[in-house]
Amino acid sequence: ALMVMGAVMLGGIITGKPPVNLSQATPIARITSEYNVFVLPANSPFKTMADVVAQLKKDPGSVKWGGGSRGSTEHIAAAMIAQKVGVDPSKINYVAFRGGGEATAAILGGNVTIGGSGYSEFAPYIADGKMKPIAVTSAQRLQSVNVPTLKELGIDVEIGNWRGVYGAPGISEEQRKALTERVLTAVKSASWAEALKKNDWTPAVLTGPAFDKFVDDEFASLRAIMTRSGMV
């Protein structure tokens, strides 16, 4: 059995402090990274991220950020944006939703000022003109997506919602190696390449000790950002 996990799970563990954690399972591989896109409702009085930032500086609480659970990458990105533009990140007004459907409905209904999620989540609504994309959290513009990065806009923020897989606790080194090889075989398949293209996922394969260290470093980095932002 494999468990799909990623950056959002790390954030959830940091904020929720559950009785079980990732040290009780076996890391296998990181496989993708998906960058967030920030969008405005089509009828928003704001047109750009600069408009949102200006309002954020004027009155942080008046800007309602909508997205996934507390500690999600869009929540952390919102806090990082605030910090980079000189606003106390603990003052941001973040509205957490249990799933993408709820967040989408809130954005389409104009119940939040700005929404964030993986690009694939919002792509149909962006294509229909129901949402206006204003920034992505990647280092470079996403392929085939004509939306500026936060860095292009002068906001030094980059964050990806990576995904990986973990195996069961207590498996042998031989079992871990076999699972790793099967995952590596899967990510070389034609169907996987098709999924990457369809969903605008960025390949980010990492295994073995390098993946172990990556997760440890991510925990430390996210915990520091979330502590500064008053999330924990």
What would the mean pLDDT of 6-32 be, rounded to a whole number?
A: 92
Alpha-carbon distances, residue 12 vs 45, 70, 116, 219, 224 (angstroms) = 33, 7, 17, 11, 14
Structure confidence at residue 228 (pLDDT): 81
Convert the pLDDT of each residue in 136-159 to its tens digit: 999 999 877 889 999 999 999 999
Residue 42: which of 136, 115, 91, 121 has the closest Cα? Answer: 115
Indicate the pairing of strand 114-118 with strand 131-136: unpaired
Structure confidence at residue 205 (pLDDT): 97
Structure confidence at residue 226 (pLDDT): 86
Structure confidence at residue 71 (pLDDT): 84
CB 157 within 8 A of CB 137: yes
What mean pLDDT, rounded, does the chain reach? 93
Judged by average pLDDT, the poorest of 45-59, 70-84, 90-104, 159-173 is: 90-104
Q: Is the pLDDT of residue 230 over 80?
A: no
Domains of the chain as residue ranges with CATH:
2-33+163-227 (3.40.190.150), 34-136 (3.40.190.10)
Q: Is the pLDDT of residue 134 over 80?
A: yes
Terminal Cα-to-Cα distance of the chain (whole angstroms): 31
Structure confidence at residue 209 (pLDDT): 96
What residue ranges in 109-219 does DSSP mark as E strands? 114-118, 131-136, 160-167, 202-207
Cβ-Cβ contacts under 8 Å for 145 (sequence gap 6 or more):
37, 119, 133, 136, 200
pLDDT band at 231, cuts 50/70/90? confident
Cα–Cα dist 83/53, whole Å: 11
Q: Look up tokens 């606790």; give the residue.
A: 169
What would the mean pLDDT of 71-88 be, rounded to a whole number?
A: 93
Q: Is the pLDDT of residue 174 over 90?
A: yes
10 Å CB burial of residue 92 (0-12, 13-18, 19+) is: buried
Convert the pLDDT of each residue in 178-221 to its tens digit: 999 999 999 999 999 999 988 878 899 999 999 999 999 999 98
Cα–Cα dist 11/9, whole Å: 5
Convert the pLDDT of each residue in 20-47 to its tens digit: 989 999 999 999 998 899 999 999 999 9
Q: Is the pLDDT of residue 15 over 90?
A: no
Structure confidence at residue 232 (pLDDT): 76
